[in-house]
């Protein structure tokens, strides 16, 4: 999704802006651009289709020196990826703007501005905003006032950063529905859509609230809230190490993040578990009272987070005996639903900025749910700020578009939540102790699975020349199969479908032949015997099976069956551990196929538009 970086400094900012864009590459984009104000008081703009490296080459040929500037990576929404549609957009020669989000009434504004004589050189909604601000600048003669007046006419979601050649010492920025942070420096200040973009220059951040508009100068930041009142926003330190956004010794961010899992799962548990119990207070001072009242749980999420929600449903119903529904946010927000009394609304999101999830939350807050709980990885994100109760996953920044550690830490947080809820709903102390102890073993078990890396890499060779694949799981392993299939299709572009194994003979069996590898997760739970008969059904049709099975499940490698033995795991925590070999499998297949592992085509890390 689009990324914004900006800087007001005494030093040359071109390098800072380019590095910021590089650090936002992981979010997905199709073109990049930058505008700076040079010493002669003119705006210099460079824009290129493709990677930030292409923009860097263009700037190497024709540098853009200046102490103030804005930059952008664009993910096309209005108009194809092209140089003329890339940001920054300008109105005349004196005003430049970058924008994330979507302006819903842009057509109407465009017609109006065109009638007033403004010329358009792109198909974007952003150029409309540039002209609108320019129009108000003519009367206001002040950039802050012009931006304030212009946003009064906008409908939609946006984060904007605006630069005017006649006001060479300030950037004006605002947000409504799209994230924007201010990076606080010494004698210089920065802005970005994501803190990671600014880590080389600062670790102190101010998160703007919805409706805020800010005047950013080298030595001063002033903010007005949506009512035009002066507002103070806290400055917080970035809590993860500076190396969070570096690949370190790894070839790809995805591989680094897969290997971080034992450590981050431990962090998710920190302060929330004793050796034998869940510390309910760690979920918030209000948590106990709230969980006592909850009679239903409604989970909402998108993508990988949705799969985490599907696993949580098995846990919540099995351990807490509380009915639970799970729905993708984009569906939930557009249908009528019956809300049972005392239903907890639970949003799961890595980024906390997914447009559909936020829209569902905002709708839910008006519709009579008992409370809204967020499971999220990004502190200060919109989801975190707008929910009543929050469980942070503490996975640290996840850069690879394919989600790995975000998913397993979401599962860990959701299991801790389930135990707290179950305690109010008849879970025996003995069972709580058993599951907490099982959870404590998960980091070690994940590390054991990571040690199988070389074997899984070998297995991956069987997938490289295939066009289709099938993933099977039963019970809480069905969402794990869904997640495994999503991983493979996202990064290797091999068509992958997942089914609950019991559904095999209701359709997908028709597809099975020697060209269709079938991947199965088989922990040693009470469904393993049934799963074994499903495997026989595949084998009888000439299908090649790849089975990740518990050492004790008695599934053996033989003709047509490749078995990868996984250490014994408690059935409740098995979905966390069994996710990991599937991550490694998809990673190695993608590497062998030579795809862009960290930035798969057409996908974005965080989908902040509908």
Chain contacts with ligand G6P (rule: CB under 6 A): 302-305, 349-351, 354, 357, 401, 403, 603-607
- The secondary element (H helix, E strand) that includes residue 458 is helix 453-460
Q: In terms of CB distance, is 303 or 517 closer to ligand G6P?
A: 303
Please count the CA atoms within 13 angstroms of the CA of 490 that sit on its side-chain side: 27
Strand partners for 329: none
- 182 touches 212 (CB < 8 A): no
* CB of residue 441 to ligand G6P, shortest distance in Å: 26
Question: How many helices (DSSP H) and strands (DSSP E) are in the chain?
Answer: 18, 25
Beta carbon of residue 467, minimum distance to ligand G6P (angstroms, whole number): 23
d(CA 604, CA 100): 13
Q: Which conformational region is residue 41 in: left (phi greater than 0), alpha (psi within -120 to 50 degrees), or beta?
A: left
DSSP secondary structure letter of residue 459: H
The first and second tokens of residue 179, run together, are 């994230």
Are 83 and 55 a contacting pair, CB within 8 Å? no
Instruction: Tell me, letter by letter, the H, E, C secondary structure of 255-284.
Output: HHHHHCHHHHHHHHHCCCECCCCECHHHHC
- Cis omega (within 30 of 0) on the bond before 88? yes
Residue 164's SS3 state is strand
Q: From the CB of 110, what's the least distance to ligand G6P, in Å? A: 30
Identify whether the C-beta of residue 597 lies closer than 8 Å to the C-beta of residue 583: no
Rounded Cα distance between 109 and 120, Å, is: 12
What are the φ and ψ backbone dihedral angles of 218, each rounded to 5 degrees?
-60, -40
Q: Which CA distances in Å does 98 have to 53, 77, 88, 95, 497?
A: 19, 14, 5, 11, 39
Active site residues: 2, 605
SS3 482: helix
Shorter beta-carbon distance to ligand G6P: residue 27 or 570: 27
The DSSP line for 548-567 is EEEGGG----BTTEEEEEE-
Q: Which residues pair with 521 in a beta bridge?
A: 548
**Residues in contact with 395: Cβ distance below 8 Å, sequence separation at least 6, in sequence order:** 260, 264, 267, 268, 350, 377, 405, 406, 409
What's the Cα-to-Cα distance from 505 to each of 484, 497, 562, rounded to whole Å? 21, 15, 22
């Amino acid at each position: 999704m689009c990324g914004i970086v900006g800087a007001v400094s005494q030093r040359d900012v071109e390098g800072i802006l380019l590095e910021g864009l590089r650090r936002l590459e992981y979010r997905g984009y199709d073109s990049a651009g930058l505008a700076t104000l040079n010493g002669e008081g003119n705006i210099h703009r460079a824009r290129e289709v493709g990677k930030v490296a292409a923009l860097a080459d263009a700037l190497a040929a024709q540098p853009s020196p200046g102490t103030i500037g804005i930059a952008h990576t664009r993910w096309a929404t209005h108009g194809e990826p092209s140089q003329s549609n890339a940001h920054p957009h300008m109105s005349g020669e004196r005003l430049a703007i970058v924008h994330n989000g979507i302006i819903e009434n842009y057509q109407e504004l465009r017609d109006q501005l065109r009638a007033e004589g403004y010329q358009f050189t792109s198909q974007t909604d952003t150029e409309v905003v540039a002209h609108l601000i320019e129009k108000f600048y003519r009367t206001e003669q002040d950039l802050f006032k012009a931006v304030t007046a212009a946003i009064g006419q906008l409908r939609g979601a946006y984060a904007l950063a605006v630069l005017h050649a006649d006001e060479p010492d300030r950037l004006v920025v605002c947000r409504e529905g799209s994230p924007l942070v201010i990076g606080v420096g010494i004698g210089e200040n920065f802005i970005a859509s994501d803190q990671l973009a600014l880590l080389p220059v600062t670790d102190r951040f101010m998160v703007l609230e919805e409706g805020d508009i800010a005047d950013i100068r080298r030595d001063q930041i002033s903010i007005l809230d949506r009512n035009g009142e002066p507002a103070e926003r806290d400055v917080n330190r970035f809590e993860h190490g500076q190396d969070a956004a570096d690949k370190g010794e790894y070839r790809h961010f995805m591989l680094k993040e897969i290997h971080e899992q034992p450590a981050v799962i431990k962090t998710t548990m920190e302060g929330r578990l004793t050796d034998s119990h869940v510390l309910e207070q760690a979920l918030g001072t209000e948590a106990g009272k709230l969980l006592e009242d909850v009679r239903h749980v409604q989970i909402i999420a998108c993508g990988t987070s949705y799969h985490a929600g599907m696993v949580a449903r098995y846990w919540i119903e099995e351990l807490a005996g509380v009915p639970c529904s799970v729905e993708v946010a984009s569906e939930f927000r557009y249908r009528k639903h019956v809300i049972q009394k005392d239903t907890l609304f639970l949003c799961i999101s890595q980024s906390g900025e997914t447009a559909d999830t936020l829209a569902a939350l905002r709708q839910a807050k008006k519709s009579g749910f008992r409370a809204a709980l967020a499971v999220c990885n990004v502190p200060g994100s919109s989801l975190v700020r707008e929910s009543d109760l929050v469980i942070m996953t503490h996975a640290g920044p996840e850069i690879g578009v394919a989600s790995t550690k975000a998913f397993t830490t979401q599962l860990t947080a959701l299991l801790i939540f389930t135990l707290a809820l179950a305690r109010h709903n008849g879970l025996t102390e003995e069972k709580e102790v058993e599951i907490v102890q099982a959870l404590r073993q998960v980091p070690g078990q994940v590390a054991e699975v990571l040690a199988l890396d070389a074997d899984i890499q070998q297995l991956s060779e069987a997938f490289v020349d295939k066009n289709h694949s099938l993933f099977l799981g039963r019970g809480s392993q069905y969402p794990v199969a869904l997640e495994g299939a999503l991983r493979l299709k996202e990064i290797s572009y091999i068509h992958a479908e997942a089914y609950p194994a019991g559904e095999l003979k209701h359709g997908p069996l028709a597809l099975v032949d020697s060209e269709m590898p079938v991947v199965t997760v088989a922990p040693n739970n009470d469904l393993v015997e049934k799963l074994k008969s499903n495997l026989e059904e595949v084998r009888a049709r000439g299908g090649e099976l790849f089975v990740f099975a518990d050492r004790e499940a008695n599934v053996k490698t033989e003709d047509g069956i490749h078995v990868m033995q996984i250490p014994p795991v408690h059935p409740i925590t098995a979905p966390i551990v069994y996710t990991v070999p599937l991550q490694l499998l998809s990673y190695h297949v993608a590497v062998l196929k030579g795809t862009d592992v960290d930035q798969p085509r057409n996908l974005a890390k965080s989908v902040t538009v509908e």
